[in-house]
């Protein structure tokens, strides 16, 4: 193995570095700064690259289950404070956006595979289509992330006019002019890529870090949820769960087993609060993951800037809910406690921001509830909950469809607290009649107990493009 650092300029005048490869023989830097691959095997090896990790963690700080206190708030970076306050401007004029840089780098990589594989030497048409499908699955995920940062939440009446991210399909480092696509155009693009991927990806996986059919179907189901097509989403979730690969394990972990004292994930009530829980395996070995996109977050371990509100903590109402063991009452290395019943997540650095089995079960339950199959929603909810608590506590006694939807959203907070999922849910729910009129706030508590409340304005359901990007693209419109 030999790492080769490839430096290139891409999209919106951002300088991106750090593309790693495992085989120097098939990735070389020519005088124009392009990646070179020729044979179908070269492109297959390119897809073995570790393109799982991104540094975009802003969504963790923008979820309303988050609270911040001193001294951690005052010692945080300006970027962290601005995200927490939902400020208009997050980045300084010379800064790149962490929500963009890694995703754009990976976009170049997958565009290269998609555009060049048809002319690659060797390989059957089926092999080529599979590699293209895998790259399109990943490109679709990238655009799903980008439109949820920079495009307005999807609304049928305005999606054709609301601006999102530029659609870029060429692996061209010389391009300099970009026009923002509409939210509708971006979602149409995502759906097209996923439909193509589903057509060509196999059921069984080359490896856990490579694309397979169930991952594409599950992601398409999630996309449909975010644009309010719940019946279509349900079809895709059913397909995904029926197409799980047979050559590797993809399943729900039973926290009643993994989170026992001194069990597989290292939980110990005496020592775990003083250090990070060893927790589940790394993302590439984590059996709940269908699409292993990883964020390394110190908010999950030693950094106490982003804490869990008492309101969110109080959602863990059952005494046997093993997910409560993921949290501790004090800062790293101390038993605390924090004042006011707030908690710190202590589950280790890894967050999967790709696609997971819990996400699929909860989204499928939501689709069932929204299409009036309350019994089906109850079954999916209880399937997840039985793997998180005792069977008796896992029971859900709700018969009303709207009440079930609201309960599922609460379950998503319990399952994904401080993982960034809440921000994306807040966006889509902001245009949902069931949740109309909801006000989202953050509280910052000073050492003397004084509380400052920040209220999210509708304009800040989208992030603004950084000044550095806008200066490099003077004809491109920014968000308000």
E runs forming strands in 154-296 = 289-291, 294-296
Read off the pLDDT of residues 331-367 as tens digits, 9 standing for 90 and up.
998 877 999 999 999 998 889 999 999 999 999 999 9
Tell me the pLDDT band of 172, cut-offs 50, 70 and 90.
Answer: confident
What residues contact residue 291 under an 8 Å CB cut-off, 6+ apart?
137, 141, 211, 215, 218, 219, 354, 355
The β-bridge relationship of strands 289-291 and 344-345 is unpaired
CA distance 169 to 176: 14
For residue range 150-165, what is the model confidence (pLDDT) as tens digits?
Answer: 999 999 999 999 999 9
Tell me the pTM: 0.92
Who contacts 13 (Cβ-Cβ below 8 Å, separation ≥6)?
A: 176, 468, 469, 471, 472, 473
Annotate 287-314 with DSSP letters as a single string: TTEEE--EEE-GGGTT--SSEE-HHHHT
d(CA 332, CA 335): 8
In DSSP notation, 64-75 reads: TTEEEETTTTTT
SS3 category, 5: coil
For the chain, give the mean pLDDT. Answer: 90
Using pLDDT thresholds of 50, 70 and 90, give the confidence band for residue 274: confident
Residue 433 burial class via C-beta count within 10 angstroms: exposed 0-12, middle 13-18, buried 19 and up:
exposed
Whole-angstrom distance, CA of residue 101 vs CA of residue 155: 27
How many residues are recorded in the chain? 480
Query: Cis (ω within 30 of 0) for the bond into 225?
Result: no
Token reading at 50: 């570790």
Percent of the chain with pLDDT over 90: 81
pLDDT(71) > 60: yes
Measured between alpha carbons, how far is 293 from 189 in angstroms, rounded to an integer?
20
């Amino acid at each position: 193995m030999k790492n080769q650092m490839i430096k290139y300029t891409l999209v919106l005048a951002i300088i991106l570095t750090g593309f790693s490869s495992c085989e120097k023989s098939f990735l070389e830097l020519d005088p124009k700064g392009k990646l070179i691959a020729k044979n179908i095997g070269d492109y297959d090896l390119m897809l073995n690259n570790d393109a799982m990790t991104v540094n975009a963690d802003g969504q963790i700080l923008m979820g309303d289950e988050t609270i911040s206190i001193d001294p951690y708030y005052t010692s945080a970076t300006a970027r962290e404070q601005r995200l927490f306050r939902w400020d208009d401007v997050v980045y300084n004029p010379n800064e790149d956006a962490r929500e963009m840089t890694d995703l754009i780098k990976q976009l170049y990589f997958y565009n290269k595979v998609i555009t060049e594989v048809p002319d690659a030497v060797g390989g059957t048409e089926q092999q080529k289509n599979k590699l293209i499908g895998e790259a399109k699955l990943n490109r679709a995920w990238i655009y799903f992330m980008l439109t949820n940062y920079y495009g307005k939440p999807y609304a049928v009446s305005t999606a054709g006019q609301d601006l999102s991210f530029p659609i870029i399909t060429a692996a061209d480092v010389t391009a300099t002019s970009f026009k923002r696509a509409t939210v509708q155009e971006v979602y149409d693009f995502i759906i097209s890529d996923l439909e193509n991927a589903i057509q060509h990806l196999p059921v069984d996986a080359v490896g856990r870090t490579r694309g397979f059919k169930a991952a594409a179907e599950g992601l398409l189901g999630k996309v449909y949820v975010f644009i309010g097509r719940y019946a279509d989403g349900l079809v895709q979730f059913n397909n995904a769960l029926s197409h799980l690969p047979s050559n590797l394990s993809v399943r729900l972990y039973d926290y009643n087993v993994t989170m026992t004292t001194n069990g597989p994930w290292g939980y110990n009530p005496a020592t775990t609060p003083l250090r990070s829980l060893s927790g589940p395996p790394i993302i590439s070995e984590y059996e709940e993951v269908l699409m292993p996109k990883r964020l390394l977050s110190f908010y999950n371990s030693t950094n106490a800037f982003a804490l869990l509100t008492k309101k969110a903590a109080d959602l863990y109402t059952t005494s046997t809910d093993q997910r409560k063991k993921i949290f501790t009452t004090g800062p790293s290395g101390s038993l605390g406690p924090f004042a006011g019943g707030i908690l710190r997540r202590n589950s280790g650095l890894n967050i999967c921001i790709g696609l997971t089995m819990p996400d699929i079960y909860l989204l499928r339950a939501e689709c069932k509830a929204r299409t009036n199959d309350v019994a089906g929603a109850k079954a999916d909810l209880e399937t997840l909950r039985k793997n998180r608590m005792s069977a008796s506590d896992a029971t859900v006694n709700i018969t009303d469809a709207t009440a079930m939807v609201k309960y599922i959203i609460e379950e998503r907070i319990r399952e994904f607290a401080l993982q960034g999922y809440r921000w994306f849910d807040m966006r889509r729910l902001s245009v949902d009649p069931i949740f109309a009129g909801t006000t989202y706030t953050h509280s910052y508590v000073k050492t003397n107990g004084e509380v400052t409340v920040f209220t999210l304005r509708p304009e800040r359901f989208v992030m603004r493009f950084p000044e550095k990007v806008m200066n490099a693209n003077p004809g491109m419109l920014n968000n308000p």
